[in-house]
Chains A and B, each alone.
Chain A
C-alpha cells in the first residue's frame, strides 16, 4: 500500500486529499499519479531528491499548474483550482522557496502586497503599519522596524515575514517550499519555532518541503517521500528515523547512477 491505510475515502478529518494527480510538461512526466492527504492540524513533511517534483506538486495543489489528471479535495469537496488567487481565497497559502517578497518594498507593504488597505484611491499606510506591527508581535516575529526595506533584513527574517504574510489572511492551510533553505542554524530555529507555534496555537495543517531530514523530526507529524512521480513512502515520524529517510533517498541515487539515468 503506497499511501498508508489510515485514510479511508471521504474521511472527514482530511483537510486536503490528492488523488491520482498527473502533471506532464511536454513529454516529461513529472507527477505520475500522486496520492496524498493531510489531516486537519497535521504537519506533513514532503521529501524527495532534487527534481523529484515536490515543488511541482505544491504548485499543482495551489492552482499554479493545472493537473493533467487526478482529483483534489479540500475539506471533502472536490476543487478545480484555476489560479493561485483562487486557492488563496479558499485559504490555501503558499510560501515558495524563491522568496516572493519584494526587496525594494518595506516590510508592511510586503505584508499587504496585493491585499492593500486603502482609503478611496490611496494606500492606507498608517493602518497597514498598525496591523503589521500588531500581527508580527502576535506571531513572535522580531524585526528592527516594519518600515525597513526587506532587502535590509536577514534571510531568516525575510522568511519569517513571508510565512507571517501567508498566515495573515486567515490561512486554513500552509504550503511551505523549503522554508529553511539557505539558512543558518539560528535562523532555521526561528522559522521552526514559528511553524511550531502555528501548529500548536492555530492548528493550521501544513505541508513542508524539507531537505534536512533532522528538521522533519522537529515539527512534522508524518513524512512522505515523492519519487518517480509518486508518493512511495508514507509514515508517521515516530515510526521512522533520519537514517531511514536518508537511506531511502540515497539508495535511489545509487540505483539511478548504476543505470546511467541522471537523478532528474
Chain B
C-alpha cells in the first residue's frame, strides 16, 4: 500500500501501471494481480486504507477529555503534520480520489470508502454541538468549511505556493475554523 501510494503520488495515477508497481515491489505482475484484481481495485483499497489511518487518529482525538476548540487544533495539527510528513496520503485523497471520480464510481460511492474518516468527523461535530460549544447547522455546511479549508491549504502546499511551512499556519487556521463553527448564543 505504502509503495503504491508513493508511486502514484510521484508519477500520477494514470501514468503508473500494474507492471510498474510490481517492479517497485519486486514481485511478478501475476503475483500482484493475486492481491488486486485491477488497478481500480487497488485504488479503492488505497482510499479505504487512508481513510482508516486518518479516522483512527481523529477517533483518538475525539476520545480525549478536551474542548471542541482544542480538538479542532489537534485535528488541524495532525492533518498538516501528515500532509508534510506523509504527503502521499493527503495527495492521494485530494488529487486522485476527489479528482478521478470515474475510478471510484463502482464500489466507492458516497461514504463507502471514506466512512472511517467521515464518521469520526461526524462524531466530532455531533459532540461539539451536543455540548453547546459548536453551533448547530447542516453537517455538510460545517464539514465543507473544515475539510475544504484544510484540503485547500494542502493543495496550495503541493503547488509550492505557500510562502511558509504548512505547520506555520496551524494556530491561525485552527482559530479561524473554531470562530466559524463556535456557538455564539
Q: Are A and B genuine complex partners?
A: no
- B interface residues (Cβ-Cβ under 8 A, vs A): none
